[in-house]
Amino acid sequence: MSGDLFSYIYQFADVFAFLVLSAAGLAIIFGMMGIINMAHGEFIMCGVYVTSATYHMGLPLVLAQACGTAAAGLVGVVLEYLVIRPLYARPLDSLLVTLGVSLIATQGTLVILGSTFPGIGTPLGSFDVGAYTFSTYRMVLFAAAIGVLGFVYVLFMRTGFGVQARATMQNAAMARALGVPTSRIYALSFGIGAALAGLCGALYAPTMNLIPTMGAGFIVEAFVTVVVGGASVLLGTAPAAAVLAIIRSGLNAWYGQVIGQIGLLIAVILIVRVLPSGFSGWLARRSAS
């Protein structure tokens, strides 16, 4: 395989991993639960900061990343119980409340920990293909994205918890009448979404500078991926991420990062205009016909 061809495949894998990992938690909280979670970036930031802090305390990187994931999930469960639970029927209120949580978390982190925080060097080194050098860790991120997609699918489509969660999201009153503990399902689902956001931050902690506003770098891509994926996030997130990754990686390779970002947003507008129900709606119609 030529270096140029592999370079494009590598860029696609890198962008695909970023979109999937940043959107997976939001796909559950926003796509399934209907909560417009503007604090999604701060859950990612939580994963980054806890991972870096525990790594510098002496934990191996993998265990530090597990701590970052667990910390974000725990914060999500607490936030759901204290703040989010009364807002499931009030999506606009959830937007304002989670935006407030986002601002508090960002400014609180800045005040308590300062404008910078010790980072982690990118592990695993690099490898060469032709005249190009590539980071090995970026391929680990791609594998992690595939693993997250598989985990979410199995959890929500092949387990008893998944059946109860989907029933609760579709008709909470009926699910409650049938004996489903809806409050617990909401808390666990929100916690899982927050934990996946924390996992995203934990995985990307070795690749970025640690600053309190770092969550903003993830939230735009996360929202556009979920929106383009459509109502059925379990069906639409992967194809949405793949299509957007092809578009952005191609534009990045030919015209640079800025044009790639602009092209991604233009593509989202066009896709939503042509496919208002997203990729999941389009796939559902094709399977029905």
SS3 of 65-120: the string is HHHHHHHHHHHHHHHHHHHHHHHCCCHHHHHHHHHHHHHHHHHHHHHHHCCCECCC
Give the pLDDT of residue 288: 65
- Contact present, 200 and 40 (Cβ < 8 Å): no
Low-confidence ranges of the chain (pLDDT < 70): 1-3, 231, 288-289
Can you give the residue range of the structural domain that contains 102? 3-288
Give the pLDDT of residue 40: 93
Give the pLDDT of residue 255: 79
Taking only the tens place, the pLDDT of each residue in 160-171 is: 998 998 888 888
Give the pLDDT of residue 238: 87
Give the pLDDT of residue 143: 95
| Tokens read off for 218 | 């993830």
For the chain, what is the domain count? 1
State whether residue 131 is helix, strand or coil.
coil
What is each CA distance from 30 to 27, 119, 255, 274, in whole angstroms? 6, 30, 33, 22
Give the pLDDT of residue 2: 67
- Contact present, 204 and 123 (Cβ < 8 Å): no
Confidence (pTM): 0.92
The residue whose two tokens read 């890198």 is: 14
Burial readout 131-144 (b: 16 or more C-beta within 10 A, e: otherwise): eeebbebbbebbeb
Give the pLDDT of residue 1: 56
Taking only the tens place, the pLDDT of each residue in 61-86 is: 999 999 999 999 999 999 999 999 88
Give the pLDDT of residue 35: 85
Taking only the tens place, the pLDDT of each residue in 174-185 is: 889 988 898 899
